[in-house]
Amino acid sequence: MVVPSAGAADAGLRALRGVKLYPAPDAAPIHDGVVLLRDGRIVAVGPRDAENTNVPSLAPECEGGVLVAGFQNSHVHLNGPAFAKATGAKAATLEKGLEALLTRYGFTTAFDIASDRDNTLALRQRINQGELKGPRLLTAGLPLFPAQGLPVYLDHFDAAFLAKLPQPHSVDAALKTIRQNLDAGAEATKLFLVTPQRNRPPKRMSADIAQAAAAETHRRGHLVFAHPTDLDGVRAALRAKVDILAHPPLGTPGPWPVALMDELRNAGVYMVPTLKLLRHELNKEKVPPRIGEPILQDSVREFGRFAAAGGKVLFGTDVDYMEDSDPTEEYELMAQAGLSPMQILASLTTTPAERWQESSRRGRLAPGQDADIVALGGDPMQSEKHFANVKCAVRGGRVVFAR
């Protein structure tokens, strides 16, 4: 694509230049390329030439990297102390937390799928008002759990927060929570279909509640995430017609039933791998590596089979449940599962844009798209680790992180 010339009078035009551009996972790379942007939108993408060389740089510190579209993390939480009391907290504190968790790794959009809803909405409002630099935030608000079914892994959370978490005993109670979430501004519903308990069998959300919750969310035009935990949870997710599995059935011995994985794919259910989470949980339980690593590799292999069969994959890390926010290990495990660099890039860009029906605005470096751009310090085709090697992140034409 030839980058159009820009008149000197076009004071709003800015350029971001890279040693290489990957306009999209399914597009040929552009060497020594330029992205031109104006008013938060991309206006042209192409090779550097005499006509665009004098366009002022958006940010000199962001020049010279490998440019890709802004990343989406489709599984995050915002419950840590860095985001407490977001209505009145210092902007610098919130911004530092967002950088540590998200923007320094190129996430220009993040989907929070379980948090203190009102606090997250207050944080989002302050970002959108320009008070602080941060990613675009989407949220599922308060998630729904089985009746008397908070999972054991939430025991360390503050009692006041745990008391807010809905554990509906009836369809009416579940629908009330969903309507409150969506009326407040949430974009999705999160269902914990199966929750591990201490010294007891897991709790399971009743089928009528799960199915009614998903139907109401869909009626309102929104998506449903489900936490399945095990294969029966996956089956429950299919019966409820959820849209996205927040995790695979991690730790479930393989092979996962081919027919079940095919049913997920055929139903259009997307999956967030969160493979690093399994190693985190195994380490937390002090499982010896000689036992834990085969368990992890089993799940990596089974997830890879789902992806290889055409299952749709959304990148996500479960950060702010895990304290370690570095996604490098997740990229490595996805590559071990057999995903190519461009498949990983798709899970970060075009696939989430497709899932949220936003392909006309996000996911590619192309004219008309929002100017959400990541400058990487290395080529991800040479190593998947370079997806985490972020020089700069730009959201809507504004630099939200620069290394």
Residue 314 lies in a domain: yes
Residues 340 and 392 in one domain: no
Residues 383 and 345 in one domain: no
CA 35 to chain centre: 24
Amino acid at 265: R
Distance of alpha carbon 133 from alpha carbon 103, whole angstroms: 9
Residues 306 and 160 in one domain: yes
Strand 390-395 with 398-402, pairing: antiparallel
Distance of alpha carbon 155 from alpha carbon 116, whole angstroms: 16
Residue labelled with tokens 């995903």: 339
Residues 201 and 269 in one domain: yes
Residue 58 lies in a domain: yes
Residues 126 and 240 in one domain: yes
Residue 303 lies in a domain: yes
Distance of alpha carbon 87 from alpha carbon 138, whole angstroms: 17
Q: What is the pLDDT of residue 69?
A: 98
Of 334, 355, 376, the residue that ends a domain is 355
Residues 310 and 381 in one domain: no
Residue 211 lies in a domain: yes
Q: The tokens of 122 are what?
A: 């207050």
Q: What is the pLDDT of residue 365?
A: 98
Alpha carbon distance, N-terminus to C-terminus of the chain: 30
Nearest CA to 34 among 12, 8, 13, 9?
Answer: 13
Residue 206 lies in a domain: yes
Residues 272 and 391 in one domain: no
Q: What is the pLDDT of residue 11?
A: 74
Q: Per-residue confidence of the chain (403 residues) as pLDDT tens digits?
A: 344 544 444 779 999 999 999 999 999 999 999 999 999 999 999 999 978 888 999 999 999 999 999 999 999 999 999 999 999 999 999 999 999 999 999 999 999 999 999 999 999 999 999 999 999 999 999 999 999 999 999 998 889 999 999 999 999 999 999 999 999 999 999 999 999 999 999 999 999 999 999 999 999 999 999 999 999 999 999 999 999 999 999 999 999 999 999 999 999 999 999 999 999 999 999 999 999 999 999 999 999 999 999 999 999 999 999 989 999 999 999 999 999 999 999 999 999 999 999 999 999 999 999 999 999 999 999 999 999 999 999 999 999 999 9
CATH number of domain containing 254:
3.20.20.140
Distance of alpha carbon 27 from alpha carbon 25, whole angstroms: 6
Assess contact for 74 and 244: CB atoms under 8 A: yes
Residues 241 and 325 in one domain: yes
Residue labelled with tokens 């751009």: 373
Number of domains in the chain: 2
Residues 57 and 89 in one domain: no
Q: What is the pLDDT of residue 8?
A: 44
Query: Which residues form the domain of 322?
Result: 70-355
Residues 116 and 241 in one domain: yes
Amino acid at 190: K
CATH number of domain containing 53:
2.30.40.10
Residue 92 lies in a domain: yes
Q: Which residues contact 303 (CB under 8 A, 6 or more apart)?
A: 248, 271, 273, 275, 337
Residue 145 lies in a domain: yes
Residues 319 and 247 in one domain: yes
Amino acid at 236: A
Residue 22 lies in a domain: yes
Residues 178 and 254 in one domain: yes
